[in-house]
Each structure stands twice: as structure tokens, then as C-alpha cells.
Structure 1
Amino acid sequence: MILPIVLYGSKILRNKAYDIDAGDNFTELAANMTLTLKNQQGYGLAGPQVAVLKNIFVIDTTSVNNDGTAPDVKMYLNPEILDYSAKELYYNEGCFSIPGIFEDVIRPDKIEVRYRDENFDIREETLDGLTARIFQHEYDHLQGILFIDRLSSLRKRMIKSKLKQIARSSM
């Protein structure tokens, strides 16, 4: 089932998400989030963006990490970022919850992460490049942080009227 996307202005996007327990029905939620992500043709989708205040996100790097013939979709439960590289890069980011706004955001190029997988097993990985960026963007959602929070005050002022329009449309 394709889930509705929560838009900027909704208080849920500013709340910190809660950990998922092994008994939670996260498999169906992740499947619905994956369908929603594919429908939106994006890279990542976090629980708060579909009005679920749980520490879950899905990332689809099919078009990034391979030739596109084999799906590369992963579910991350209760993710943590353990370490960041010193090297940081700018990349133009957007967000389903803030449609029509794309801005350059600086983030570490490489991160070490821990999360639970679809079997609720603990995994640790080192991510780099676009996959690391997507992970950080979605992880921020779980903390109540939006990519626009990482912009300079000047850039924020420049997009203020667009943000107000999005917030009005979400009511």
C-alpha cells in the first residue's frame, strides 16, 4: 500500500522517533514504505515521513550502486551513526516532505553505522558516497532534523516563502 507523505509544517517531522521492538510489525511497514519510495522515485524514506514515529527507514540505491537490473533496497531499523569521516562534501539534496526545494548540503563522505536488519540482527557497515549521504539524510529525519536545518541562515531566508507555501498546503 502506498502511504501518504507528511509535508513540511507537520509537527511529526520535528519529533524524535522511537526504537522498534522485535515484536513490532515492521515487515509490512517496510514493504509499504518501499512501495511508497518506488512510487515517488526517490532514494530514501523515513518513518516520520509517513506519520510513523519509529526508527525505521528504507533506502533504494538500485540506480546508484549497480546496473539497475538487481534491486538494491535495504531496510534499516534502529540505526545509529558510530563515526564520521573528516572529509565532507556538498551535494544537492531534496526531500519528499519538502517538495520542489533542492539545496546543497555538506555532510561527511564516509560513515560507520550500526542497525538492525530485516531479521532484527545487528549489523555494522562502513558507508560512503551517495549511500552514506542518503543514510545521513534519513537518519536526520529520525532525529526530527530536516535537510533545510543544515543550510546557512542566508539560504534559509531565501527559501522561507516556499517553505511557508508548503506548510500551508499541508494543513
Structure 2
Amino acid sequence: MAGAAWLQPIFKPHPIFPAFCRRPTFPAILHRFSSFSSAGQLVFTTNRFTPVHAQAKRGFSLKEDEVASAADVEFETPLKIVEYPDPILRAKNKRIDSFDDNLKKLVDEMFDIMYKTDGIGLSAPQVGLNVQLMVFNPVGERGQGEEIVLVNPRVSRYSQKTRLFNEGCLSFPGIYADVQRPESVKIDARDINGARFTVNLSGLPARVFQHEFDHLQGILFFDRMTEGVLESISDQLQALEKKYEDITGLPSPERIESSKRMKLKAAAGFGKS
């Protein structure tokens, strides 16, 4: 049956949908992973969770973040995808406090470039803005599925059960590799109008959220890979580093070879053993 591979513990690239950041060509798949409450919220498929405060990690803080200024949310169209190893992807992202027409316009533009690049999720730093904003649609098709906007998101709980999944990223074109993540998460965030809400995600929506949430923490998907998996994509990462140097005339701000020689540091945040 089409899409059955989505339920396998280890996802292997589908000929139509090579990795989770690329959109499928079959109908909406949200229901394959999540059930809905009477209020229409996505709900967990498991009740075994770990509170985030019990998993303190270096670099992850629940302290109040710096507030973004109007200049921090200024942008030019069309937006462009920022690729590794641009330092924007590692910079601190500020909290949004202004929920105005400019923010709504930014969200529209982010969805637009996400669909045009065959993505299903996108964070603000990936388009050059270091603010805490993400958009995603697990279906990846305009007019289908559900467009989700999360401003200043926080993870309050995550499931103990994890799953290995083959991920890709718009900031790492052509690179796909396995990443282990919790199957479910509970999120606190604001919507596009600034209203606070809580949502529970599981399956693919939870996976996409965690990938984009990592971007808001300055964490990249290869930070969560095992040494063996990282080794398998190191040549591709080095090629992106050289591309950056050729385009900018500057030395790469990070090098995967250095990371491989050192013991891999634990990625900050939840869900990392």
C-alpha cells in the first residue's frame, strides 16, 4: 500500500518521497500518525513521556530569551534558503513579541518558498532571520493538509519511545541520513496572532517539528547523528563547506572533519541520550 513505509521503524528513501523534508505525491498523510481530539488537536499515540526539565542539557535553557526588534524581522522577497555552514544557522534566535502584518507576510513568504523547494517544514533561520518562528505542513502540498505556524515554541514533554528515521533538510540539499528522535512531543507556543496554546504531536508531525525546533536552538540534524552515520555523509558536508568558501571567499565557520576527530558533543535539548 502506498505510504506503508512511513510506519516502519527505519525509513528507507521512497522513490517518490526520498526523505521526510520532501513532500509526498500521495494524499494527506497526517491521519496515518495521529488521532484527533474533539477540539481538533493532534494527540499522542503513547502516554509515556519525559518532562523536559528532567533532562537538563548543556546549551538548552528555559530562561527568557532576548526579544526580537522590528529590524530582526525585516526581510526581502523572494526569500532564499540559507545553506550549511552559514553561521546564521548557529546563531541565537530571538523571541517574537510583535504579532503584526509584517509577521503574517513573513509566514506567507516562508510557506511559499517551502512549497517551491518541495519542503514540508521551514524555520526562520533557514531564510536568514534569527527569530523563533517555524512553519510546516506534513503533506507538503499547498491547499492540502494543515498549515501549522508556531511562534516561540517550547517543548514541555517528549515520549520515551524513539524512532530512527531518514531525514533531509533544505539547508543541506541532497543529503539524507538517519536520525533518532522521540515519537511524540507536547508543545507550548503562540499562534500567528500571539495567542498561547498547547498542542500534542506524534509521528511525522512530531518529527518535522523536532527538526525545525532544533534549528531554533542552533542545532543541525547531523548533530544528532551517530558517528557512523555522520561518517557516511562527511564528504557531502565537506562539499557544502567548500561551496560556502568559494561563494563567500571566507573560511568555513565549521568543519565536519574537526567534529569527527573530537568526541561528538551531545546536542542540546530534549530527546538526546
Q: If the length of structure 1 is used for normalisation, what is the TM-score?
A: 0.92
Residue 210 of structure 2: SS of its match in structure 1? helix
2:176 paired residue among 102, 108, 113: 102
Q: Mapping of 1:1-171 within 5 angstroms?
A: 1-23=77-99, 25-62=102-139, 70-170=144-244, 171=247
Per the TM alignment, residue 167 of structure 1 is displaced from its structure 2 partner at its CA by: 2.0
- Whichever residue aligns with residue 42 of structure 1, its letter is G
Aligned length: 168
Aligned-residue offset at 1:153 = 1.7
The one-letter amino acid of 2:84's match is Y
The C-alpha deviation readout for 1:34-75, integer Å capped at 9, x for no partner, is: 0000101111000110000000010012359xxx86441111
Q: Which amino acid aligns with 2:81?
A: I
Q: Which residue type is aligned with residue 146 of structure 1?
A: L
1:36 and 1:23 map into 2 onto residues whose CA distance is 21
Task: Quote the Cα distance in structure 2 between the aligned partners of 1:71 and 1:2.
Answer: 24
**Per the alignment, in what secondary structure is the counterpart of residue 154 of structure 2?**
strand
Question: TM-score of the superposition, structure 2-length normalised?
Answer: 0.58
Higher-Rg member (1/2): 2
Asked if the contact 1:43/1:61 (under 8 Å) is kept, the reply is yes
What are the ranges of 5 or more consecutive residues in structure 1 without an aligned counterpart?
A: none
Aligned residue type for 1:120: G
Instruction: Tell me if the contact between 2:84 and 2:240 (Cα under 8 Å) persists in the aligned partners.
Output: yes
RMSD: 1.7
